[in-house]
Structure 1
Amino acid sequence: MVDADRPNVLFVLTDQERYDCSAPEGPPVETPTMDRLSSEGMRFVHAFTPISICTSARASLLTGRYPHSHGMLNNSHEADSIQPNLPSEHPTFSEQLAEHGYDLSYVGKWHVGRDQTPEEFGFSYLGGSDVHHDDIDDAFREYRRERGEPIKAVELEDEIYTGTNPRDSTEGTFVAAKTPIDVEETRAWFLAEKTIEAIDAHAERDRDEPFFHRADFYGPHHPYVVPEPYASMYDPDEIERPESYAETYDGKPRAQENYLSYRGVAGFDWDIWAEAIAKYWGFVTMLDDQLERVLEALERHGLAEETVVVHASDHGDFAGGHRQFNKGPVMYDDTYRIPLQVRWPGVTDPGSVCDAPVHLHDLAATFLEIGDVAVPDAFDARSIVPLIESGGDPEGVPATWPRSVFAQYHGDEFGLYTQRMVRTARYKYVYNGPDIDELYDLEADPAELQNLIDHPGYTDVRRELRERLIGWMKKTDDPNQGWVPDVLRAANED
């Protein structure tokens, strides 16, 4: 039996999953397993990624540091990668857990460095990668061959591509489609199967040492390619337009409207978006069903009561919000707010909800505290265990807990475009180096349609948020602190 002070941890990270898909107030996406985690554990309503791009966010998760601290500022696989691999001098939560007796395993997407693998950071890698996100092995291809369904081109239906003709596969980016394969042949099913095998293996071994298993699912990142029954689970005709679909970009940074053309969706009408969103929702539900299979494996082996289960995503996805596709230099909640649920038997109050702001990379410090391992001084992260133990009671939140989250963006293949964000429960301020800044009153305008940066009624709010950002830049040794604070102070005097 695992020591109660050092429980097992099952960490499920999805790729580009929106917060609202599993939120009670969100759209009608079927996520019974995620809902179950929320009802049996704690749901965080203000969890945010430090950056909305895969490599950078995943490196932050490993190191407990903001991107400007670990240096992975954009995607490692791209030709314009600023840094292709995570520097070895940064301590990671996984290496710390491995050094202190945890048995770590990993399946699925990696995407932290071109020449590195999870095995260089304390994990035993069990397979499931793909070419674009670090072709570590061919385990999935072998799985398909063994099943008599080798990976090959199939006849897709309802295909959508970016560009002038959404049905033209010869140009643009692949957005969505229905695939004729069975769900058992999907990578999502395979990654759940590999996770179940890892749980089986642990149950068959001496269980005195705890395990940490990380399952990184591909999706609901585009292309939203799903089989039945998920492909037709949601009727595009019944999907309501998000409020942010009314975006005009009036008074917004020019990069936002430019991104419509850059991503190739400037010509998409609502019918195309609704069809893509239906596939995206189907993808989310398919992943939720795979999570159910994994939780059933824990229960089958009697491990549920001694295993902390955490579900999160590296960042969100626009999926038509603000009429945008994918992600980019556009710091709306669509891509920065993430789902986070924690079930810790005997610790989390069932059905509890935490309103305190947290970052994705806070999980690095959290996993170490769960494992009774000291958090390195180099971490920017702070453990959310005190929030979990508070049971969601606002009075139980430590007085020193920040009332803001911060985020940044450094550009991707679109080109470098420095941004910094500070968000409180009510307001969001975005610093855009080469363009107009942004300020949103999220209580009055949750869709973030009206930029209030020049509104005279928000002078005090604007000044206070800029000062918060200056303080954060100094505290985290942001390299832009050499000149940006002066810019912000000058703006406050205007």
Structure 2
Amino acid sequence: MADSRPNVVLVLTDQERYDYTAPDGPPVETPALDRLSREGMRFERAYTPTSICSSARASLLTGLYPHNHGMVNNTHEADAVQPNLPTDLPTFGTALADAGYRTTYVGKWHVGRDRTPEDFGFSYLGGSDEHHDDIDEAFGEYRDDLDVDAAGADPTAPVRTADGSLVAAVDPVPVEATRPYFLAERTVEALRRAAEADGPFLHRTDFLGPHHPYVVPEPYASMYDPADVDLPDSYAETFDGKPQVHENYVDYRGVGGFDRETWAEVIARNRGFMSLIDDQIGRILDALDELGLADDTVVVHASDHGDFLGGHRQFNKGPLMYEDTYRVPLQVRWPGVVDPGSVADAPVRLHDLMPTFLDVADVAVPDWLDARSLRPLLAGDQPDDWPAAVAAEYHGDEFGLYTQRMVRVGDHKYVYNTPDVDELYDLGEDPAELRNLIDHPDYADVRAELRDRLVDWMAETDDPLEQWAPQALG
């Protein structure tokens, strides 16, 4: 009897802003992702469990918050608390492989120094980079076949931080020689093989972008004119009433000297990078159509976390739990199940995708996960007990450990900063999160409610901070 379970294609971008694919977002050309929203469901309130690459990706794989899977900071840095994800943790890769799915993986991994997707149920098809993974040399070999000398192709028009780190530039190579194009090429090849085989498959493609450095070729490098770029409203940040690390981080990242013109140039390059990646996602969607797979395939697009790009005068990400880096894009197309053009406003988390993939594949979902299947929402049925709150955490980056927790309910967000002043924002009145209302008397009841919500979440998820945080939160 033929296996009628649907295929799954997950396309994960690296450090993509939520608003790039939002209807009211900035003018960024993303026709492929717009198509996914038009043909599927767009989630308006999707959040990463943490705004750091390795930790968020480990949560996506396991359905657990970082304090439960243990990978609380990046694996490639010298200060990694846990260099590898334990292989005894169940992941959606191993679960679906054990359930009869053919599981393949292309692109960025960044969930371990010594362990690869092969250790977690996937057949790895290449595309890693030396900085994060260094698993294979497939991309270099691909460029050799194109007679492109990557070592000699220095980027032009560079923008650098104060310490010389590359932020943005023009890549002199042709589009076909870029890593995004290569990853799409590998993905299309995998889909062709899948179309010829029996049984369902899960394929995952992880693009290494639009994470910095924003180095893009023409025509994408000049697709957006810096003169037409409006800086985010939060660029008006004064740091008044904010934790001291917020202001310190501007110089720590080396962008204290960036003026409006510099940021506009950086943002223009980033948007070009996003459009380059979107065109490659378009190639993947076209391949699904051409191979007759589209009607039987669940397509998911998400990002591990967002990007500041001048928001709050910041670069990259860090100990700042703003919407810029914690709210993420999420679109799901599932023909016959998801109503085309539907929008979900229920709060969801990136790691909710883990039990969702199990649910799609008719695999039992463990009841001890920190996540919940999105399948009811995809069918247009929000359960009565769906949480109204979404929580997230942060443990530090290469500058050292720095503990934070966050909860958002409706328009209100509370950030618990263990070493400094807490934060409270009313995003309905202040969507740019410029005014910290933590001591405002009119918000005393909101403050108390969100503190209680945060303590409850800590208890529910066995957060080690739960032993002491209630005393600090009052």
What TM bracket, shorter-length normalisation? over 0.9
- Given candidates 184, 194, 197, the residue that maps to 1:192 is 184
Paired with 2:386 and 2:208, the residues of 1 have a C-alpha distance of 33
- Residue 252 of structure 2 aligns with which residue? 262
Q: Is the Cα contact below 8 Å between 1:91 and 1:376 reproduced in 2?
A: no
| Post-superposition CA distance 1:66-97 (Å, at most 9, x none) | 00000000001101111101122211111110
Q: Is the Cα contact below 8 Å between 2:37 and 2:332 reproduced in 1?
A: yes
Q: Is the Cα contact below 8 Å between 2:87 and 2:120 reproduced in 1?
A: no
Paired with 1:425 and 1:345, the residues of 2 have a C-alpha distance of 30
- Residue 425 of structure 2 aligns with which residue? 440
| Post-superposition CA distance 1:418-468 (Å, at most 9, x none) | 000001221110000010000000000000000000000000000000000
- Residue 150 of structure 1 aligns with which residue? 149
Q: TM-score, normalised to structure 2's length?
A: 0.99
Do structure 1's residue 129 and structure 2's residue 128 form an aligned pair? yes
Do structure 1's residue 449 and structure 2's residue 434 form an aligned pair? yes
Q: Find the residue that maps to 1:196 and give its secondary structure.
A: helix
Q: Is the Cα contact below 8 Å between 2:416 and 2:423 reproduced in 1?
A: yes
Do structure 1's residue 177 and structure 2's residue 169 form an aligned pair? yes
| Post-superposition CA distance 1:109-164 (Å, at most 9, x none) | 0000101000000000000000111000000001111111132132322201100x
Do structure 1's residue 233 and structure 2's residue 233 form an aligned pair? no
| Post-superposition CA distance 1:350-369 (Å, at most 9, x none) | 00000000000000000000
Do structure 1's residue 483 and structure 2's residue 468 form an aligned pair? yes
Shift of residue 378, structure 1, vs aligned partner: 3.1
Paired with 2:328 and 2:335, the residues of 1 have a C-alpha distance of 23
Paired with 2:310 and 2:445, the residues of 1 have a C-alpha distance of 33
| Post-superposition CA distance 1:456-485 (Å, at most 9, x none) | 000000000000000000000001111111
- Given candidates 195, 203, 213, the residue that maps to 2:195 is 203
Q: Is the Cα contact below 8 Å between 1:2 and 1:306 reproduced in 2?
A: no
CA RMSD between the two structures:
1.0
| Post-superposition CA distance 1:197-256 (Å, at most 9, x none) | 000111122x3x100000000000000000011000000001112100000000000000
Q: Is the Cα contact below 8 Å between 2:101 and 2:201 reproduced in 1?
A: yes
- Residue 470 of structure 1 aligns with which residue? 455
Q: Which runs of 5+ in 2 are unaligned?
A: none
Q: Is the Cα contact below 8 Å between 1:53 and 1:75 reproduced in 2?
A: yes
- Residue 51 of structure 1 aligns with which residue? 50
- Residue 90 of structure 1 aligns with which residue? 89
Paired with 1:361 and 1:155, the residues of 2 have a C-alpha distance of 38
Q: Find the residue that maps to 2:144 and give its secondary structure.
A: helix
The sequence identity of aligned pairs, in percent, is: 66
The answer to which of 141-150 and 348-357 deviates more is 141-150
Amino acid of the structure 2 residue aligned with 1:118: P
- Residue 427 of structure 1 aligns with which residue? 412
Paired with 2:112 and 2:74, the residues of 1 have a C-alpha distance of 9
- Residue 39 of structure 1 aligns with which residue? 38
Q: Is the Cα contact below 8 Å between 2:87 and 2:119 reproduced in 1?
A: no
Shift of residue 371, structure 1, vs aligned partner: 0.5
Paired with 1:284 and 1:376, the residues of 2 have a C-alpha distance of 36
Q: Which runs of 5+ in 1 are unaligned?
A: 164-170, 391-395, 490-494
Paired with 2:457 and 2:88, the residues of 1 have a C-alpha distance of 23
Q: Is the Cα contact below 8 Å between 1:126 and 1:194 reproduced in 2?
A: yes
Amino acid of the structure 2 residue aligned with 1:176: A
- Residue 264 of structure 2 aligns with which residue? 274
- Residue 111 of structure 1 aligns with which residue? 110
Paired with 1:373 and 1:58, the residues of 2 have a C-alpha distance of 21
Paired with 1:298 and 1:156, the residues of 2 have a C-alpha distance of 34
| Post-superposition CA distance 1:170-212 (Å, at most 9, x none) | x33210001111110000000000000000111122x3x1000
Shift of residue 384, structure 1, vs aligned partner: 0.5
Amino acid of the structure 2 residue aligned with 1:355: D
Q: Find the residue that maps to 1:222 and give its secondary structure.
A: coil
Paired with 2:164 and 2:299, the residues of 1 have a C-alpha distance of 38
Q: Find the residue that maps to 1:361 and give its secondary structure.
A: helix
Q: Find the residue that maps to 2:447 and give its secondary structure.
A: helix
Q: Is the Cα contact below 8 Å between 1:141 and 1:150 reproduced in 2?
A: no
Paired with 1:106 and 1:445, the residues of 2 have a C-alpha distance of 41
- Residue 137 of structure 2 aligns with which residue? 138
Shift of residue 3, structure 1, vs aligned partner: 3.8
Q: Is the Cα contact below 8 Å between 2:231 and 2:263 reproduced in 1?
A: no
Paired with 1:8 and 1:54, the residues of 2 have a C-alpha distance of 26
Q: Find the residue that maps to 2:182 and give its secondary structure.
A: helix
Q: Find the residue that maps to 2:414 and give its secondary structure.
A: strand
Q: Find the residue that maps to 2:157 and give its secondary structure.
A: strand
Paired with 1:436 and 1:22, the residues of 2 have a C-alpha distance of 33
Paired with 2:196 and 2:8, the residues of 1 have a C-alpha distance of 17
- Residue 19 of structure 1 aligns with which residue? 18
Paired with 1:188 and 1:37, the residues of 2 have a C-alpha distance of 19
Amino acid of the structure 2 residue aligned with 1:143: Y
Do structure 1's residue 305 and structure 2's residue 305 form an aligned pair? no
Paired with 2:196 and 2:151, the residues of 1 have a C-alpha distance of 36
Shift of residue 2, structure 1, vs aligned partner: 6.5
- Residue 232 of structure 2 aligns with which residue? 242
